[in-house]
């Protein structure tokens, strides 16, 4: 079979209309980053309005993607619409670069956009993530794209979408406050260790996607641009850099992010968020960093220090 | 007819990223490496924004003369509207239309507020207005030559109706800056 990348009809062939800017390795049978240009324009317009109205969900006409919902189609469409040939892409799934989901998405963009990919947070310009924010502080030149299964923070409390739109318009979040109050009264703490709702710039209640509460403080005044894409629900929202983001709480019960009280079994970190791993069928278990890049970096440092 | 983007896919992506960066970090000035050679009086940066973002789904208003309108129509397919309040995108090459007269969206759908591109004489970062709000760590300074004298008052009124409002892109030659509706402007005192 002929290798399409090296075929003489490739983008750099004599007589090609456009100047050659195809990065190496891109499959020219796809439009750059897979999506057609009209779809990108629509998503790009939604992203700009999302940045202008921090935390507000913008509806968009989601396109069918070659991956099923639940694989991050909303995040993929956002990534596809912002990505350029000089970007370096990292994809994480619950903090790990090596899950099937993360590997598939990374390969998808390496093939359709020809972009460089990396597993190192420090090297990435665009990071697509499911359920975590990297441990390493992000920089101004980085963009974090969240895959969002359910963008509406009120959906368990108010199933009617038209009504949630009205409540957001009025900034009436008493339903969420009552729910939080009840959780605290019954359990002494908030029930939501994941996906704890946040107030963005003092105005919009927003779902941070199912990240652990441990990551919520990282949303606050982050130097990076944070973009959120929900494929099934067809919504895009954003938190601009340095925007105040506050986890919903009460003065006498301030939001307290949780972390398992152990060092990482691999790198010894006492600050990274940990996953509990079952090691055998007799109840053996260990705690390891959820962020595989941060763990490897810390393990490298610990090894060098020995 | 003058050409549009030399590379329609990658140049549109680069133009979008410049606008996104400008909107996410208000007061920073972005330069466009590959802006199209638009007919006068359209500034290259303004042309790049329109070609990257406007299409048949975005009613467009402009004060530009017939030849320039023909170029925009040819390269974007956007339908022109005569009334500024009907437009999703507006390009002002001379006088800025009053912000209060433009589409501001509704409290439930504030994203329907218009995007106004205004061509200005110059954008000088580090001087002039003190800008604050989302996207800005402490404060950015930006001096803009060529906006109406009552612009700060118009902008304050625009910000006061948040989440409704208009978002602004300022274009000078191949440079652009953006003012999202959340931006607060303090005049140099
Ligand atoms: Zn570790």
Please give the ipTM for the structure prediction: 0.98
Mean pLDDT over residues B137-149, rounded? 96
Q: Can you give the pLDDT at residue A5?
A: 30
pLDDT band at A183 (very low <50, low <70, confident <90, very high): confident
Between chains, do B135 and A241 touch, taking CB under 8 Å as contact? Answer: yes
Enumerate the β-bridge partners of residue A91: A128
Euclidean distance between CA atoms B90 and B67, whole angstroms: 17
Q: What is the mean pLDDT of residues A98-111?
A: 94
- Domains in chain A, start-ordered, CATH in brackets? 19-153+193-247 (3.40.50.11310)
Backbone phi and psi for residue B15, each to the nearest 5 degrees, phi listed first: -65, -45
A88 band by pLDDT with thresholds 50, 70 and 90: very high
Q: Which of B182, B177, B125 is nearest to B20 (CA)?
A: B177
Active site residue A295: yes
Write out chain A in H/E/C secondary structure: CCCHHHCCCCCCCCCCCCCCCCCCCCCCCCCCCCCCHHHHHHHHHHHHHHHHCCCCCEECCCCCCCCCCCCCHHHHHHHHHHCCCCCEEEEEECCECCCHHHHHHHHHHHHHCCCEECCCHHHCCEEEEECCCCCCCCCCCCEEEEECCCCCCCCCCCCCHHHHHHHHHHCCCHHHHHHHHHHHHHHCCCCCCECCCEEECCCEEECCCCCEHHHHHHHCCCCCEEEEEECCCCEEEEECCCCCEEECCECCECCCCCCCCCCCCCCCCCCCCEEEEECCCCCCEEEEECCHHHHHHHHHHHHHHC
Q: From chain B, pick out residues whose CB is under 8 angstroms from the CB of A85.
A: 10
Nearest C-alpha in B relative to A162: B108
Helix (H) or strand (E) holding B129, with range, is strand B122-132
List b or e across B162-176, with b for residues whose CB sees 16 or more CB atoms inside 10 angstroms: bbbbbbbbbbbbbbb
Which chain A residues touch B13 with a CB distance below 8 Å?
A: 32, 40, 82-84
| % chain A with pLDDT above 70 | 90
User: What are A296's two structure tokens?
Assistant: 């490897």
Which phi and psi (to 5°) does residue A155 adopt? -65, -30
**Cα of A135 to ligand 1 centre, how many Å?**
11
Neighbour-count burial for B32-51, b at 16+ CB within 10 Å, e otherwise: bebbbebbeebbbbbbbbbb
- What domains can be seen in chain B, in order of their start residue? 8-180 (3.40.50.11310)
Q: What is the mean pLDDT of residues A158-167?
A: 96
Q: Does the annotation count A264 as an active-site position?
A: yes
**Is A283 tagged catalytic?**
no
Region of residue A278 (left: phi > 0; alpha: psi -120 to 50; beta: else): beta
pLDDT of residue A62 exceeding 80, the answer is: no
Ligand 1 center from residue A283 Cα (angstroms): 21
Q: How far is residue A124's CA from residue B86's CA, in Å, rounded to a whole number? A: 41
- Among A62-71, A188-197, A214-223, B179-188, the range scoring the smallest mean pLDDT is A62-71
Can you tell me which residue has the tokens 């300022």? B170
Q: How many CA atoms lie within 13 A of A235 on its CB side?
A: 19
Strand (E) or helix (H) holding B16: helix B8-24
Catalytic residue list contains A267: yes
- Checking if the pLDDT of A6 tops 80, the result is no
Strands B89-92 and B60-62: parallel
Residue contact B23–A82, C-beta within 8 A: no
Q: Is residue A40 less than 8 Å (CB to CB) from chain B? A: yes
| pLDDT for the residue A32 | 93
Min Cα separation A274/chain B (Å): 30
Q: A221 burial class (0-12, 13-18, 19+ CB within 10 angstroms)?
A: middle
- The tens digit of pLDDT for each residue in A242-287 reads 999 999 999 888 998 888 899 999 999 999 999 999 988 888 899 9
Q: How far, in Å, is the centroid of ligand 1 from the Cα of A58?
A: 37
- Contacts of B149 by beta carbon, 8 Å cutoff, 6+ apart: none
Interface test with A, best of B34, B116, B163, B178 (most A CBs within 10 A): B163
């Amino acid at each position: 079979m002929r290798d399409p990348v090296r075929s003489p009809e490739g983008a750099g062939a004599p007589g090609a209309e456009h100047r050659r800017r195809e990065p190496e390795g891109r499959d020219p049978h796809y439009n750059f980053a897979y999506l057609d240009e009209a779809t990108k324009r629509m998503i790009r317009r939604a992203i700009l309005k999302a940045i202008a109205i921090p935390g507000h969900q913008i509806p968009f006409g989601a396109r069918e993607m070659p991956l099923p919902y639940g694989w991050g189609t909303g995040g993929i469409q956002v990534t596809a619409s912002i990505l350029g040939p000089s970007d370096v892409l990292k994809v994480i799934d619950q903090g790990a670069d090596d899950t099937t989901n993360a590997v598939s998405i990374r390969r998808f963009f390496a093939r359709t956009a020809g972009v460089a990919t990396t597993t190192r947070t420090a090297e990435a310009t665009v990071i697509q993530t499911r359920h975590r924010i990297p441990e390493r502080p992000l920089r101004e030149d980085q963009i974090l794209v969240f895959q969002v299964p359910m963008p509406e923070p009120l959906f368990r409390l108010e199933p009617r979408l038209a009504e949630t739109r009205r409540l957001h318009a009025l900034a009436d979040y008493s339903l969420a406050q009552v729910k939080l109050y009840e959780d605290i009264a019954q359990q002494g703490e908030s029930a939501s260790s994941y996906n704890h709702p946040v107030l963005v710039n003092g105005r919009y209640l927003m779902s941070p996607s199912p990240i652990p509460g441990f990551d919520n403080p990282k949303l606050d005044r982050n130097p990076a641009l944070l973009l959120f894409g929900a494929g099934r629900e067809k919504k895009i929202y954003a938190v601009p850099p340095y925007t105040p983001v506050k986890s919903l709480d009460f003065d006498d019960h301030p939001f307290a992010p949780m972390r398992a009280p152990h060092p990482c079994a691999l790198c010894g970190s006492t600050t990274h968020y940990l996953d509990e791993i079952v090691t055998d069928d007799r109840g053996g278990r260990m705690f390891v960093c959820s962020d595989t890049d941060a763990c490897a970096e810390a393990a490298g440092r610990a090894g060098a220090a020995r | 007819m003058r050409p549009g983007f030399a590379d329609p896919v990658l140049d549109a992506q680069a133009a979008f990223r410049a606008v996104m960066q400008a909107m996410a970090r208000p007061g920073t000035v972005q330069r466009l490496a590959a802006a199209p050679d638009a007919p006068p009086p359209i500034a290259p940066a303004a042309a790049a924004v329109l070609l990257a973002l406007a299409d048949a789904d975005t009613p467009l208003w402009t004060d530009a003369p017939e030849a320039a309108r023909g170029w925009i129509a040819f390269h974007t397919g956007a339908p022109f509207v005569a009334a500024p309040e009907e437009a999703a995108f507006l390009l002002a090459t001379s006088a800025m239309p009053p912000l209060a007269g433009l589409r501001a969206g509704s409290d439930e759908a504030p994203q329907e507020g218009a995007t106004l591109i205004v061509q200005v004489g110059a954008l000088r970062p580090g001087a002039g207005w003190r800008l604050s709000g989302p996207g800005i760590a402490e404060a950015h300074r930006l001096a803009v030559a060529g906006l109406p004298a009552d612009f700060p008052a118009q902008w304050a009124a625009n910000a006061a109706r948040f989440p409704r409002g208009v978002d602004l892109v300022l274009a000078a030659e191949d440079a652009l800056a953006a003012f999202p509706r959340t931006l607060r402007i303090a005049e140099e005192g």
